[in-house]
Structure 1
Amino acid sequence: MELSKYNFENRGSSLEEFGVTNYAYTFKDVLAYIDWIESKKFIILGGDVYSRQGDIFDLTYDSWYYSPKNKDNDSLKSISVAKNYIKQYTNSNGENFYFAIVVSE
């Protein structure tokens, strides 16, 4: 399965308008998606933040990344980095943002 083409429980919004084969998720939905990714032991390499006005997404140019270092615990560390970034971002800016993540299977 190519995760960039996977719409987790049909909760995501397509980013095709940006020429990106990926989905953006609300704060609550992205946390559920990350929990699913954690259960599969995949690694989150990073992600981007989007704002949305109606049906139009805007890239905020805010993002995070994780550089894998140790295969034994990269999955858990990448999950922690992603959750911490998203929670800090929403604590500072509110929950009205969407998040797209890049995953390595």
Structure 2
Amino acid sequence: MTSLNKFSNLMASSGVSLDTLGIRDIGLARENALRAVEILRHENLSILGGDVYIRRGDRLEVAHANWYADPKPDEGREAYLHRSWDKAETYIKSFPEVADAEVLFAIVVEKAPGADIRPTARLKDWLPLLG
């Protein structure tokens, strides 16, 4: 199984739809978000940033928290890739737990070569392409 298939399977099996918030995206619990970072690292796809959501039972809330990793001027591709993965991993690991709730992370990824999706694609956009 390729890494992108693993990524697609992770999204399909573990992702939480954010549609009830009017957001066409998928959130992942902390451990699954960290797995997603590792898969994207293996595929050499940058993580452009992400948003945080809170799930309390069946209710979803916007956490009003996010991170981003824009390329710096004169930063090489390899350096940017490593910085984007490290920043995502650090942010996800260090985001505080929320009492009586689950923290979800929606990750914004670089588009895969040959994929016909916008450069700041959300994870949900990958599912039809990777399945």
Determine if the TM-score, normalized by the shorter chain, exceeds 0.5.
yes
- 1:33 — aligned with what? 36
TM-superposed CA distance for 1:16, in Å, is 1.6
**Structure number, greater radius of gyration:** 2
Q: Taking structure 1 as reference, are residues 92 and 22 closer, same or farther at Cα in structure 2, changes over 3 Å only?
A: closer
Q: Find the partner of 1:96 among 78, 98, 102.
A: 102
Percentage of pairs with the same residue: 29
Q: Which amino acid aligns with 1:41?
A: N
Q: Find the partner of 2:90 among 72, 80, 84.
A: 84
Rounded to whole Å, the distance in 1 between the matches of 2:65 and 2:84 is 17
RMSD across aligned positions (CA): 2.7
| Equivalences, count | 102
The answer to whether the 8 A contact 2:10-2:32 is kept is no
TM-superposed CA distance for 1:22, in Å, is 1.6
Output the TM-score relative to the length of structure 2.
0.67
TM-superposed CA distance for 1:9, in Å, is 4.8
TM-superposed CA distance for 1:38, in Å, is 0.7
> Superposed, which structure 2 residues align to 1:8-87 within 5 Å?
8-69=11-72, 70-87=76-93
Consecutive unaligned residues of structure 1, counting only runs of 5 or more, are none
Output the TM-score relative to the length of structure 1.
0.82
The answer to whether the 8 A contact 1:49-1:60 is kept is yes
Consecutive unaligned residues of structure 2, counting only runs of 5 or more, are 112-131
